[in-house]
Amino acid sequence: MSRRFIAVAAAILIAVLVAALSGQEVPGSGIKKVPAPYTRASSGKEMYVTYCASCHGKDGKGNGPAAAALKSVPTDLTQLAASNGGRFPENHVAQTIKGDFATPSHGSRDMPVWGALFASMGTTSDGSMQLRVRNLTKYIASLQQ
C-alpha cells in the first residue's frame, strides 16, 4: 500500500477532528463544527460512527455527508487491505489515528489528532487511548472488502 494512500486516510481523520473541536461552520459547506462527543473505548463501531463516518461514510467508502466540504476526497477505507497486497496495514492505521505520522494534508504533528482526543477522554494512564486506537483500528479492519 502506498504511503500517500494512507496519508490521505489520515488527513481525513484529522480534518474531522479539527472541525469537531472548533465549533464553527465550515465556510460555504453548511456543515457546523461541534465538539467531539464522548464515546465508549470498548466500541470501535461507536467511535467510527461518531468520529469518522461524517467523511468516510457509514460504509467506509468515503461518501460521508461532510466529504464534499473537504479539499481531498476521503479515502475509501474498505480498500486499505486491497491496496496493501491483501493485508490490512493495522500498525500504520493505528499510528495514523494516533497522529504519529506528519502528513501534508494534516498539517504538522502539533495539529490536534485523534490520539490526543482519545487520551483526553481517559484516565491519566495511556491505556484508555491505546484501547480506543486498537478498537477503532479493528473496526476499520472489519470494513475491508
> Looking at the predicted structure, is the pLDDT value of residue 98 above 90?
no
Cell numbers 473537504: residue: 70
Mean pLDDT: which of 12-26, 27-41, 56-70, 122-136 is highest? 56-70
Mean pLDDT of 65-89: 90
What range does the domain containing 102 cover? 3-142
**What CATH number should be reported for the domain holding residue 27?**
1.10.760
Residue bearing the bigger pLDDT, 36 or 141? 141
Structural contact between residues 133 and 97, judged by C-beta atoms closer than 8 angstroms = yes
Phi, psi (rounded to 5 degrees) for 143:
-85, -5
Q: How far apart are CA 97 and CA 14, in angstroms?
A: 8
Residue bearing the bigger pLDDT, 25 or 108? 25
Give the total number of structural domains in the chain: 1
Residue bearing the bigger pLDDT, 73 or 18? 73
The reported pTM is: 0.71
Q: Extract the C-alpha cell encoding 67.
A: 466529504
